[in-house]
Amino acid sequence: MQFHLQSFLKKEEQEDLHQFRIQAKRIIAFLTLLDYINHDRKLVKSFSPVKKVFKQAGELRNNYIAQKLMPDSSPSNTSFKNFRLLAKRHWKKIKKVRLVINRKIRTVKRALLQRFYQNEIRRLAFSLKWLRSDNQLHECRKRIKGLLYNYKPFHYTLDMTLNTDYLEQVEETIGQWHDQLLVAQNDDGCKKKLRSRIGRLTNNFYQRALS
Per-residue pLDDT reduced to its tens digit, 81-117: 899 999 999 999 998 998 889 888 888 888 999 999 9
| pLDDT of 155 above 80 | yes
Per-residue pLDDT reduced to its tens digit, 176-205: 888 888 775 556 777 788 889 999 999 999
Average of pLDDT values for 144-166? 93
The pLDDT-based confidence of 134 (bands split at 50, 70, 90) is confident
pLDDT of residue 185: 55
Percent share of the chain, pLDDT over 90 = 58
Q: Smallest Cα–Cα separation from 29: which of 163, 142, 156?
A: 142
Which of the pair, 39 or 6, is modelled with greater confidence? 6
Predicted TM-score (pTM) of the model is: 0.86
pLDDT of residue 179: 86
